[in-house]
Amino acid sequence: MSPFHGGTHNGLVSRSLEREESNQVQLESPMSLKLSNLAVLATVTIATSIAAAGGGRSETPVDTQPGGIFCLADLNRDLAVDAADLGLLISLWGTGQPDFNGDGNTNGYEIGYLMSQWSSECHNFHSNVTISLDGNFLVVAGTGIPDHEYGNFPGECGNPNSVGNQNDTWMIPLEPEMTGSPAVDALVQMGPIGIMVNGVAFYNPFDGGGITAPDTICMDSCNAHPSPDARYHYHQYSPCIEPYTGGHSTLIGYAFDGIPVYGPWEEDGILAAEMDGKRTLDSCNGHYDEARGYHYHAVSYQLALERNLPDNGFPWSIGCFAAEPEASNFAGGGGGGGGGGGGGGGGGGGGGCPGCAANMIPPPVCNCVHNLPGFEYCCDQWDAACQQAAAQFCGG
């Protein structure tokens, strides 16, 4: 399959009428060629011309996905615009592909456009993250420690956990495989379900105690906190990742299915969660537009309250995977607890125990204690006796 294949949305099984209608729009429109959300050269044609020197189907290229991976002039997809791309363009001279301005020719305009992108950094990740390509995957490596200021952990919010190096390596699909029945339920999977452009993981809405984290658990000023395995993480949108400068929010991360995640705004003064009709967010917190293809939006609990969003903005990050997530990311792929997380929300207890969650009791300790005879109540109401039992019998 060509790395620029654009048919991934055609296999999407609709979760809602809006998504089904959105698919129909994609199938009917030439913009449907840009449905591979990471491989954002967005046309089959450039890849075809690279492989066959102008043979095969011809279409007019469209612009890259705003803020996404690859530049339009990055013809060989190595995340840089350099001499290799210039040589490739010269070898395709007169073939009509690539055709950056849609005039049917490959000529001086394409040379000028390529030079305008010369030495461009063709990705949106921050400098504290290392990225590389491995087949059909973008490999994202980093410490998991943010490049913005974070809370004084342990201690802040009563959280006993610290922030530590996770030695992460994540695999992000370059060609999302859209599905209505992913192998992983994002609302059940604990631990990381995606990665932000600053290398910090984001989780689903729930703390390890089975309660919603953004509206229940104390966070630092960047809407994040560490879990018992020292993983700093978000459950919601953080304004500290990328500044908002107006219009549609910038790209802030990727879910493990390869679908990009944007901030909360659809346009000036309007949240994506406030859109209706075909732009209504589906149950995954995603929708389609012609500039970005299918993408998710994240929102913060505080902003949701201010705008009076239904359910206070739940699920805040994503509600489900719209494409098949890469399984290795849930099997220790992140290192340092990257697969399972160890608490999901920064120290909450396991098994849906609000008492443990409110007191930042790690899930293994919580489960051990409330299974002791006479301590079943500790799941709902953690007290000094529960803490003493944890220290004596459960290593807590």
Tell me, what's the pLDDT at 48? 30
Contact 96, 118 (CB under 8 A): no
Give a yes or no: residue 142 inside a domain. Answer: yes
pLDDT at residue 18, rounded to an integer: 35
3-class secondary structure, 266: strand
Confidence at residue 66, expressed as pLDDT on a 0 to 100 scale: 54
What is the phi/psi pair of residue 357, to 5°?
Answer: -60, -45
> Does residue 100 share a domain with residue 161?
no
43 neighbors 31 (Cβ within 8 angstroms): no
Within a domain: residue 94? yes
Name the domain boundary from 116, 137, 155.
116
Which phi and psi (to 5°) does residue 131 adopt? -125, 150
Does residue 88 share a domain with residue 167? no
Instruction: Please indicate, yes or no, whether residues 246 and 278 belong to a single structural domain of this protein.
Output: yes
CA–CA distance, 392 with 242 (Å, rounded to integer): 45
Residue at 2 is within a domain: no
Residues 101 and 188 both lie in one domain: no
Give one DSSP letter per residue of 214-251, joined into a string.
TTTS---TTSEEE-TTS-EEESS--TTTS---SSSPPE
67 and 184 both lie in a single domain = no
Q: What is the mean pLDDT of each run of 10 residues along the chain (396 residues)?
A: 30 30 32 34 31 30 52 88 94 92 92 91 91 93 96 88 94 94 95 97 89 91 94 97 95 97 97 95 95 95 96 96 96 48 35 69 75 82 89 79
Amino acid of residue 28: E
For 61, the token pair is 């290229």
Check: CB of residue 283 under 8 Å from CB of residue 320. yes
Look at residue 122 in the predicted model and tell me its pLDDT. 86
* Residues 87 and 132 occupy one common structural domain: no
Token pair, residue 268, equals: 């000036």
Please, which residues have CB within 8 angstroms of residue 174's CB and are 6 or more apart in sequence?
3, 36, 38, 39, 69, 133, 136, 137, 138, 258
In a domain, 3, yes or no: no
Range of the domain at 361: 354-393
User: pLDDT at position 334, please?
Assistant: 59
Q: Which has the closest alpha carbon to 96: 43, 165, 153? A: 43
Residue 23 has a pLDDT of 35
Do residues 30 and 149 both lie within one domain? no
Claim to verify: residue 331 and residue 368 sit in the same structural domain: no
Q: Is residue 1 part of a domain?
A: no
The verdict on 111 and 129 lying in the same domain is no
Same domain, 78 and 154: no
Determine, yes or no, domain membership for 149.
yes
Q: Which long-range contacts (CB under 8 A, 24 or more apart) does 265-268 make?
A: 266/297
> Cis omega (within 30 of 0) on the bond before 315?
yes
Contact 227, 337 (CB under 8 A): yes
> Encoding tokens for residue 3?
């790395």
| 307 and 337 together in one domain | yes
Angstrom distance (rounded) from CA 61 to CA 41: 8
Per the structure block, which two tokens stand in for 154?
A: 């342990």
How many folded domains does the chain comprise? 3
Closest by alpha carbon to 34, among 55, 11, 4?
Answer: 4
Same domain? For 158 and 282 the reply is yes
Global confidence as pTM: 0.70
The torsion of the CA quartet 366, 162, 149, 145, rounded to 10 degrees, works out to -100
Question: What residues are paired with 289 via a beta bridge?
Answer: 293
